[in-house]
Structure 1
Amino acid sequence: MIPVEVENLTIAYNQKPVLQEVSFKVPEGKLIGIIGPNGAGKSTLIKGILGLIPTAGGNVEILGESYKKQRKKIGYVPQRGSVDWDFPTNALDVVLMGRYGHVGMLKRPRKKDYEIARECLNKVGMLDFADRQISQLSGGQQQRVFLARALAQDAEIYFMDEPFVGVDAATEKAIIALLNELKARGKTVLVVHHDLQTVDEYFDWVLLLNLRKIAFGPTKETFTIENLQKAYGGKLTFLQDQALVVEDSK
């Protein structure tokens, strides 16, 4: 069964389209990078798929059904900037939130849920910080905690919105190792990503986006200079055959 199928998805803000008739079918058990210039609609795409923002048209199916019917099978790691890090809770409680789909919102977590939460914190190297308030953690540590929460959910499909932004090299290495572990377990992972120099190394498939779908397919076939130029236009330069994004001076 197709993990994620998007058909003619259109999203508009104040009647201005920010995504236009985007269609693609996600293969199972792959790491998929969603890339494109700033303002291309990458985060908007994820939020539209997850029903976090209204859509102007199109259809989304998760494992053959609507998102509402399959939401327990989906894990979501939002951008760090969209999270209220001053909320008074510790790292362990954040990870336990990933278990609510299993225990129910009005029920107390069981001993097994605490064990799973601690195990997930350990996997991301944050078990020693289980009792630390999230506001007292560094940016990279906060990101690790949210990844642990997604792990605790034990989802089938994961959406991650720029998980590598603002983290140190050690955290980035830990994140990609975790993503590969999820893939090895048959999970499907879609990641909004901005660093073009690591796309070849990190992802099996790529969705190139700039308001519309530019290209979608296996990285070796899709992540080409021709497709990058279509997506980035004049904002793209090349150095030693590696694509680099540069901002226009205008």
Structure 2
Amino acid sequence: MHASPLTISNMSVAYQKKPVLRDVSFEVPEGKLIGIVGPNGAGKSTLIKAALGLIPRLYGEVSIYGKPYAEQRKLVGYVPQRESVDWDFPTNALDVVMMGRYGHLGWIKRPGAAEKRLAMECLAKVGMADFADRQISQLSGGQQQRIFLARALAQDAKLYFMDEPFVGVDAATEKAIITLLNELKTQGKTVLVVHHDLATVKEYFDWVMLLNVQLVDFGPTEQTFTPQKLQETYGGRLTMLDRESKSAMIVNGR
């Protein structure tokens, strides 16, 4: 039987003894765009970081295509939150994208002409080919996000984790990102996206995960993204979901 791109069983994470994720279990279907939504402090970023082994788990198992992450690293691409990156690091856009190839090269071998050509292709895909030599500190927020997407593309992964890729980007970048995500899906890749804009969930994602420390629900967007289940996820903080205009308003949260 074909192993799922990502299976998480009974995962719990705590910061200073406070549970941030409690007993989360799910299995991700292949070739889907999956949105992870929930209020601030729901554990959305924590879920990704714990799955990637970037933060410790209290307990729980994570498997990527049926094996531990350590054995499947090459199959996984990760786009972190933009604010978690040191943008003053003295490097240019092309070098950042080429870092995506290190998993394939190993640390000893230097990237050569083939890697550079691939990195340029990835930059072109996100509309950033003209910025290859630009220092990353000189790029706008939207441009920085595109560079990170290009780096993830260069990894040529099968499973992608993206932590709030749409935050702080302009409309053109948002459109470029979703076009790219759909292209990855067309290639049979699986993409999990931490997302905060409820108004675009139905438009963007095939499946959605509703998370608030515990897993509220996970499944096809049409069945899962309902006013009742959103109320369950956000509690009293969700004050309005207008289905006609697809707009959602959250108070006391983002």
Q: Which residue of 2 aligns with 1:246?
A: 250
Q: Secondary structure at the match of 2:40?
A: coil
Aligned residues: CA RMSD = 1.0
Query: Aligned residues: percent identity?
Result: 69
Deviations 1:31-87 (CA, angstroms, capped at 9, x unpaired): 000000000000000000000000001111000000000011100000001000000
Q: 2:88 aligns with which of 82, 86, 89?
A: 86
* Change in CA separation of 1:83 and 1:230 when aligned onto 2, cut-off 3 Å: same
Q: Secondary structure at the match of 2:61?
A: strand
Q: 2:217 aligns with which of 172, 193, 215?
A: 215
- Cα drift, residue 106 of structure 1: 1.9
Between the aligned partners of 1:131 and 1:248, the Cα distance in structure 2 is: 42
Q: Unaligned regions of 5+ residues in structure 2, if any?
A: none
Between the aligned partners of 1:106 and 1:58, the Cα distance in structure 2 is: 34
Q: Which residue of 1 aligns with 2:70?
A: 68
Q: Do residues 108 (structure 1) and 110 (structure 2) align?
A: yes
Query: Counterparts in 2 of 1:143-154, with a 5 A limit?
Result: 143-154=145-156
Q: Which residue of 2 aligns with 1:9?
A: 11
Q: Secondary structure at the match of 1:189?
A: strand
- Cα drift, residue 113 of structure 1: 0.5
TM-score by length of 2: 0.96
Counterpart of 2:16, as a letter, is: N
- Cα drift, residue 245 of structure 1: 3.5
Q: Do residues 230 (structure 1) and 232 (structure 2) align?
A: yes
Query: Counterparts in 2 of 1:184-203, with a 5 A limit?
Result: 184-203=186-205
Aligned length: 249
Runs of 4+ in 1 over 4 A off after TM superposition: none
Q: Do residues 22 (structure 1) and 24 (structure 2) align?
A: yes
Between the aligned partners of 2:119 and 2:191, the Cα distance in structure 1 is: 20
- Cα drift, residue 239 of structure 1: 5.0
Between the aligned partners of 2:65 and 2:241, the Cα distance in structure 1 is: 41
- Cα drift, residue 101 of structure 1: 1.0
Q: Do residues 174 (structure 1) and 176 (structure 2) align?
A: yes
Between the aligned partners of 1:43 and 1:245, the Cα distance in structure 2 is: 21
> Does the 8 A contact of 1:101 with 1:153 survive in 2?
yes
* Change in CA separation of 1:223 and 1:101 when aligned onto 2, cut-off 3 Å: same
> Does the 8 A contact of 2:241 with 2:249 survive in 1?
no
Deviations 1:166-225 (CA, angstroms, capped at 9, x unpaired): 000000000000000000000000000000000000000000000000000000000001
TM-score by length of 1: 0.98
- Cα drift, residue 104 of structure 1: 1.2
Counterpart of 2:47, as a letter, is: L
Counterpart of 1:221, as a letter, is: Q
> Does the 8 A contact of 2:239 with 2:251 survive in 1?
no
